[in-house]
Structure 1
Amino acid sequence: MTAPLPVSGDDRDDDLAFADRIFTEVAALSPDKQGVSRPAFSKVETNTLRYLEDVARAAGLDVWYDAGCNANFALPEHRNAEEYRLVGSHVDSVPFGGNYDGLAGVVAGLIALVRARRRGEAFSRPVHVLALRGEESAWFGPCYIGSKALLGVLGAAELGARHKGDGRTLAEHMADIGLPMDKVKAGSPLADASAIIEYLELHIEQGPLLIGKNIPAAAVSGIRGNIRHRQVRCIGEAGHSGAVPRAFRRDPVLAMADLFVRLDESWQTILNKGDDLVLTSGVVGTDPAKHAMTRIPDEIGFSLDIRSQGAETLDHMRALLREEMRQVERDRGVRFVLDDELRVEPAVCDAGMVAGLEAAMARAGQEPFVMASGGGHDAAVFAGAGVPSAMVFVRNHNGSHNPDETMDLEDFISACDIVYEYLMG
């Protein structure tokens, strides 16, 4: 069992010590060659939840697991509340990732509960804290897996996605840890969303805006949706690198490059019009086992991640992608093969919650600031299910999804102050 921390009598020092201890000890549970790796639906993820359970129980909180095998926390008097505000985030990470992405949101919720218990103060409405599994897409391809399963919107194609390491399906991994797969496959919710008054998620910012503005934290106005293809194949024709003239080549590498240039030009056009868009291909490669420096490859594969705050922009990019592929196929004599599309709709944060967070920032002695989220988060799934949702961002150096994530704990506690003031309001 995890021993409770001694109480110093200084709220901020106690919160800093509590947060530092959790971040340090969870990092020690999930080290990799660089950074941390907490794979979705893995033993490492399970051990992280069990560690948080021990910490919470030692702090006098109630802990239980829902049907999605996610950990839930509350003050004892709120354990059986018929309605509650939900503060949550995820505990999994990308491979070789940073320690704060996701985990910070769970710790923020725990700090709110522990602070209220320590002070003897009452939230304006009951509060539950949720530590979710499986938010990151890096392991299987689909994103927000845990929250989608909880709300009954995890699709068959997503369940059939295969793990990047062992090749087993997501459904098999979920079954291994005890999820009721008959309900998940049927699209039956594993939680009663009608009991959730609203969903609030604290997360590190995954870009540089707060650093540039020298602001420790912000409220979030909306979350980008996305269209994703885990693997697109471009199929051409193999040949000798020196013997085949340009006019006779069906080179998939140059075809892929041609497609990317076309998409990049359209990206700039969309930005010039004032619309929101980002486009990334994070995995690109030929098969090194059969290709060589002196051989024109017959196939190349690549991933595609298209994000926007506008559903119409995503629809436009889907159509544009297929149109440009057809043109490159005609020009280059190749063939593109798309895998199943994975899509998450953009989410607008609840206006009332955003206004409440601005007021909470002011009460916490901070200058109110609101920004949009470039990255995707579980809050988008809750918003899509009709649950009023909002987010708080914490300033974070060195970006995210890398081992160099650096969140100053003073900034983190400032963001926790916003969450706490909001829950008390």
Structure 2
Amino acid sequence: MLEVARDRRTEALAEGSRLGAGLFEALAERTADAPGVTRVAYGEGEGAAFALMAEAAGDLGGDSVFDAAGNQFLTFRGADRSRTIYIGSHLDSVPHGGNFDGAAGVVLGLAAAAVLARLGSAPPFDVCVLCLRAEESCWFPHSYIGSKTALGRLEPTVLDTVLRSDTGRSLATHMRELGFDPEAVRRGESRIDPARAVAYIEPHIEQGPVLVAAGRPLGLVTGIRGSFRFREAAFHGTYAHSGATPRTLRRDAVVAASELVMAMQALWERLERDGHDLAVTFGIVGTDPAQHSFSKVAGEARLCIDVRSQSESTLEEVRRRLVETGLDIAARRDVRLELGPLGGSTPAVMAPRLLEQMRAAAAAAGIEAVEMASGAGHDAATFANAGIPTGMIFIRNENGSHNPDERMDMADFDQALAVMVDLLQQPADRWG
């Protein structure tokens, strides 16, 4: 009898894996933009991805509904319909990105629903596979738009002041054009009642090399780094002739920018030696192509500054040191520093009880998982900071992320699927 049950489970997991593989293939075809895929937030590619997931959910007997912001809720009935376990992630991508970033979480949720349907096993509570909008801030320069709108926590001014990078039009305008209701978003309306949310679980490909280096298929996330960002920082000096202007009379913006980069690198190294969790990145550094020249001293140097840590106190210290150092450099180099608007996100800790449940599920499946913090930001941070018990499962992925060469092996996806199915079969009293 036990052997028959194992065979049924194996067959059901294989069916879920086939569904997942088919969804990834269809997603790649429908959103292809060589090299890679492009799923613009509130754009055609993201919309195609939402339609594909809704179609799959309907085939499995799930209900599909949008909220006011256009997030999609795909709900499967559980034994207790008064509460909900949410599984999900985002479906937008960076330009010419990979097929798995974000999408793996939604596809895994649907694959788990398919396994439970095949087994005839109802989860303890309703399961909602959540398709979130606009997580990639390359489109709208604001963190976690989908999860913030889903929870009714988006700052209202963002609707009008945050513009999409390729159109220059506001978030509210794009919502309205797709038939959604930005005024309801402005009022903080939400389909999620935190008091009735059992948990939010976000499966996601790892976007770094830790699991590949460790030779492990899965990671259980302990926390998510927060950040502060200056996207529009710039040093302003004076353009001058490269041969005729002596060093002592130059107001060179590039030299000032370079000095700031190296000063922050040195600060990072010192703080890391002292045990601080930190990552400092100058992702964009450049001069003005309309004015720069081979034979000019650069009068402007632009920088995009991204600082991340699990510690709010570390973020605050580094922000203070960045401002002090930048202003000191500007004074010594006789240039002007404009940091521009400050953005960022709050660090988040994953729920210890849910982490223990995932640890037990991995052990039951015979999987050795790595426990690790997430250096990248995820919508899970918004749910955790809203007081909803939150967990993340990382799936091994070669070649990093935000590029067309993402490579998640379906064998690793299948390991994550086994963990998720075990979680969803745990009795209600295990969930708290």
Check conservation: 2:13, 2:418, Cα contact below 8 A. Answer: no
* Equivalent residue number for residue 232 of structure 1: 233
TM-superposed CA distance for 1:38, in Å, is 0.5
Distance 1:124 1:326 in 2: 57
Letter in 1 for 2:93: S
* Equivalent residue number for residue 364 of structure 2: 363
* Equivalent residue number for residue 4 of structure 1: none
Distance 2:186 2:61 in 1: 36
TM-score using structure 1 length: 0.94
Secondary structure of residue in 2 paired with 1:327: helix
* Equivalent residue number for residue 173 of structure 2: 172
Check conservation: 2:60, 2:113, Cα contact below 8 A. Answer: no
* Equivalent residue number for residue 289 of structure 1: 290
Secondary structure of residue in 1 paired with 2:421: helix
What is the aligned residue count?
Answer: 418
Check conservation: 1:359, 1:368, Cα contact below 8 A. Answer: no
Check conservation: 2:227, 2:315, Cα contact below 8 A. Answer: yes
TM-superposed CA distance for 1:128, in Å, is 1.1
Higher mean Cα deviation, 272-281 or 162-171? 162-171
Distance 2:326 2:191 in 1: 40
2:375 matches 1:374 = yes
* Equivalent residue number for residue 151 of structure 1: 151
TM-superposed CA distance for 1:338, in Å, is 1.9
Higher mean Cα deviation, 317-326 or 282-291? 282-291
Q: Deviations over 1:130-188 (max 9, x none)?
A: 01111111112212111111222222564312222222222322332233222333445
Higher mean Cα deviation, 149-158 or 223-232? 149-158
TM-superposed CA distance for 1:354, in Å, is 0.3
Q: Relative to 1, partners in 2 of residues 1:258 and 1:9: Cα closer, same or farther, differing over 3 Å?
A: closer
Q: Relative to 1, partners in 2 of residues 1:81 and 1:386: Cα closer, same or farther, differing over 3 Å?
A: same
2:125 matches 1:125 = yes
Q: Relative to 1, partners in 2 of residues 1:116 and 1:253: Cα closer, same or farther, differing over 3 Å?
A: same
- 1:222-371 matches, cutoff 5 A: 222-371=223-372
TM-score using structure 2 length: 0.93
Higher mean Cα deviation, 59-68 or 142-151? 59-68
Check conservation: 1:74, 1:113, Cα contact below 8 A. Answer: no
Q: Relative to 1, partners in 2 of residues 1:340 and 1:17: Cα closer, same or farther, differing over 3 Å?
A: same
Letter in 1 for 2:218: A
Higher mean Cα deviation, 181-190 or 367-376? 181-190
Q: Relative to 1, partners in 2 of residues 1:297 and 1:174: Cα closer, same or farther, differing over 3 Å?
A: farther
Distance 1:66 1:78 in 2: 21
Higher mean Cα deviation, 9-18 or 297-306? 9-18
Letter in 1 for 2:379: D
- 1:13-162 matches, cutoff 5 A: 13-75=14-76, 77-78=77-78, 81-156=81-156, 158-159=158-159, 160-162=161-163
Check conservation: 2:217, 2:369, Cα contact below 8 A. Answer: no
Distance 1:80 1:362 in 2: 27
Q: Relative to 1, partners in 2 of residues 1:79 and 1:283: Cα closer, same or farther, differing over 3 Å?
A: farther
Distance 2:158 2:97 in 1: 23
Distance 1:369 1:125 in 2: 28
Q: Deviations over 1:26-64 (max 9, x none)?
A: 111111131111111112211210111112212322222
* Equivalent residue number for residue 194 of structure 2: 193
Higher mean Cα deviation, 85-94 or 149-158? 149-158
Distance 2:423 2:224 in 1: 20
Letter in 2 for 1:139: W
Letter in 2 for 1:181: P
Q: Deviations over 1:71-122 (max 9, x none)?
A: 21122x3499331111110100111111100000001110111111111012
* Equivalent residue number for residue 182 of structure 2: 181
Distance 1:310 1:157 in 2: 27
Secondary structure of residue in 2 paired with 1:178: coil
Percent identical among aligned pairs is 39
Check conservation: 2:235, 2:330, Cα contact below 8 A. Answer: no
Distance 1:51 1:153 in 2: 27
Higher mean Cα deviation, 157-166 or 375-384? 157-166
Distance 2:283 2:157 in 1: 21
Distance 1:178 1:192 in 2: 24
Check conservation: 2:106, 2:130, Cα contact below 8 A. Answer: yes
Letter in 1 for 2:171: L
Letter in 2 for 1:329: A
Check conservation: 2:13, 2:115, Cα contact below 8 A. Answer: no
Distance 1:334 1:140 in 2: 31
Distance 1:148 1:379 in 2: 10
Please list every run of 5 or more consecutive structure 2 residues that lacks an aligned counterpart in the other structure. Answer: 1-7, 427-432
Distance 1:157 1:182 in 2: 11
Check conservation: 1:62, 1:79, Cα contact below 8 A. Answer: no
* Equivalent residue number for residue 429 of structure 2: none
Distance 1:102 1:334 in 2: 42
Secondary structure of residue in 2 paired with 1:412: helix
Check conservation: 1:217, 1:393, Cα contact below 8 A. Answer: yes
* Equivalent residue number for residue 430 of structure 2: none
Letter in 2 for 1:358: R
* Equivalent residue number for residue 408 of structure 1: 409
Letter in 2 for 1:274: G
Higher mean Cα deviation, 12-21 or 97-106? 12-21
TM-superposed CA distance for 1:274, in Å, is 0.7
